[in-house]
Amino acid sequence: MMIAHVALGMWMLAASPHVHAAPLDTAQIEQLTGAKGKLDRPTGVFKVTAPRTDLAVTVGGVKLSPASGLASWAAFQAIGAETMVMGDMLVTEDQVNPVLSTALDNGLAVTALHSHFLGETPRLLYMHVGGTGRLETLAGAIGKVLARVREPGAPLPTADIDPSQSHLDLEKLMTVLGHRGDLSGGVYKVVVGRTAHLHGHAMGASMGVNTWAAFWGTDERAAVDGDVVMKENELQAVLKALRHEDLQIVAIHQHMTGEEPRLMFLHYWGVGRSADLARGVRAALDLTRSP
């Protein structure tokens, strides 16, 4: 069962500030996470840190060290009878999807994926995770994620695919996706809009509130890239659906502030059989059907 979403845990914490919480078993957290931590006694938060000492990172020729923010961390806080965890995993780009899948498979929510630098070598991304539940379950999940961070990444998909040589069965793609798209320059693009409100005004597909997918290549070897717009409570299911079809998650973030409902955007990429790629996109569309 998925560990309760971070937002629920934070709501519980805010709504019940006087609920007695037992002290955290910090020794158990260190044992299960495989990382050393430090207790902030005034707040009762125990934070474990795993520096990326295995990386030699430069940004424009400037050398960075773990003290420059090159570390993964997870912070634990007791909330009543349960525990909340929030963390940030530092990964190389070939580690992103293996680490993301490990987090999801172990009941953690993945809430953001982005970069902190420009032009760094090697390329790095930061993945935010969290959850609420039993201390042992959370710490064990974080431990498995940190263990995966210490392992080599997985090869990123590559292929010799040129849009000018595209030859796709468009009717088949339309049937799988359930939506008709437009072909331009050898790229078949499908756009499906949603509705949000900003400053009292409705916004739709033409203002960028949309899920889109662009396909090119052949039926047997195609590429797809795109963006999914979703409500916060749809994010975890969409991540699982895309990873199930081996689509690569590239970024998770917001495109607006102050919109209603609050929306998240997820960028993805993949290489494979066009029908398989389309099935992954269709699964995401089916999970984001509500207005």
Return the closest-CA partner of residue 58 out of 123, 125, 120. Answer: 120
Euclidean distance between CA atoms 24 and 259, whole angstroms: 37
pLDDT at 290: 79
pLDDT at 3: 57
Residues of the chain with pLDDT under 70: 1-21
- Could you check whether the bond before residue 122 is cis, i.e. omega within 30 degrees of 0? yes
pLDDT at 66: 95
Query: How big is the CA angle at 54 (ends 51 and 60), to the nearest 5 degrees?
Result: 90
pLDDT at 69: 94
Domain boundaries, the chain: 6-149, 163-286
pLDDT at 20: 58
Tokens at 16, concatenated: 């019940």
Of the candidate CATH numbers 3.30.70, 3.30.2120, 1.10.10, 2.60.40, the domain formed by 6-149 belongs to: 3.30.70
pLDDT at 120: 97
Backbone φ, ψ for residue 169 (5° rounding):
-80, 95
